[in-house]
Structure 1
Amino acid sequence: MAAPQDDDEEDLVFNVEEVQKIIRDTIELILGGNVYSHSRTPQWIGLITDKTMARIAKLNKPFKYIYRITITQKNGSGLHTAAAYFWDTVTDGTCTVRWENKYMYCIVNVWALALQI
């Protein structure tokens, strides 16, 4: 009888590795070998957001998700960000994926906030 409880507990855990793989696969599919284009960036961000949200929703986990996607041209300029959280460190989670090709960087942050059930 212990196995069903373990499955239930696993359903309540934000699986960082699983979400990172989804994000990496989605970025690679959409950006792949593209050259940076300022005019195409909004479209890319929309596609990455929609596809990532759809795939993560299919995991059917009890979380609300927040996404932030940044795409910048690879030109030697710096980018610094910071975040602070006040949340339940047992149930809530976050992951960040930094992807790059020869022309651009893409940084995707996902925050998962457990639903109270």
Structure 2
Amino acid sequence: MTGMEDYQNGNEGSFNSEEAETVVKECIENVVGGDDYSQSQVNKWTASIVERCLTQLVKQGKPYKYMVTCAVMQKTGAGLHTANSCYWDTAMDGSCTVRWENRTMYCVVSVFAVTVA
């Protein structure tokens, strides 16, 4: 009888959210790492972040379809709240949300990974 942890680690198909978070953080850093918030750059940044994340995730060769969302918001003292909900196979599919910030902005990226049937 194996423990739940052994099963999770040995389950090649299950989504590795820690691995995905690392990929996403690197992509955000590469795109906006040292920059200050700029209204004129936001569309370019968000497009670049989601494209990079998708490319890097697909490169891992896992059997998933991916959806990536990205929101960039200027730091103004306002609150930022996000939520998501999924109806899927919790044993195989997965998601992760990365909240990143620097001096002038917040960036929130969500990745949804759905097993290719």
TM-score (norm 1): 0.88
The equivalent of 2:101 in structure 1 is 100
1:84 & 1:69 partners in 2: Cα distance? 16
Unaligned runs of 5+ residues in structure 2 are 1-8
2:56 & 2:30 partners in 1: Cα distance? 13
The equivalent of 1:27 in structure 2 is 28
SS state at 1:111 partner: strand
2:51 & 2:85 partners in 1: Cα distance? 25
The equivalent of 1:114 in structure 2 is 115
The equivalent of 1:42 in structure 2 is 43
The equivalent of 2:89 in structure 1 is 88
1:70 aligns with 2:71: yes
2:82 & 2:97 partners in 1: Cα distance? 12
Q: Which runs of 4+ in 1 moved over 2 A?
A: none
The equivalent of 2:6 in structure 1 is none
SS state at 2:85 partner: coil
Cα drift, residue 25 of structure 1: 0.7
Alignment of 1:10-21 (within 5 A): 10=12, 12-21=13-22
Cα drift, residue 8 of structure 1: 8.4
2:44 & 2:93 partners in 1: Cα distance? 30
Cα drift, residue 81 of structure 1: 2.0
Cα drift, residue 85 of structure 1: 1.5
Say what the alpha-carbon RMSD is for the aligned residues: 1.7
Unaligned runs of 5+ residues in structure 1 are 1-6
Q: What is the identity, as a one-letter code, of the residue corresponding to 1:87?
A: W
SS state at 1:112 partner: strand
SS state at 2:100 partner: strand
Number of aligned positions between the proteins:
110
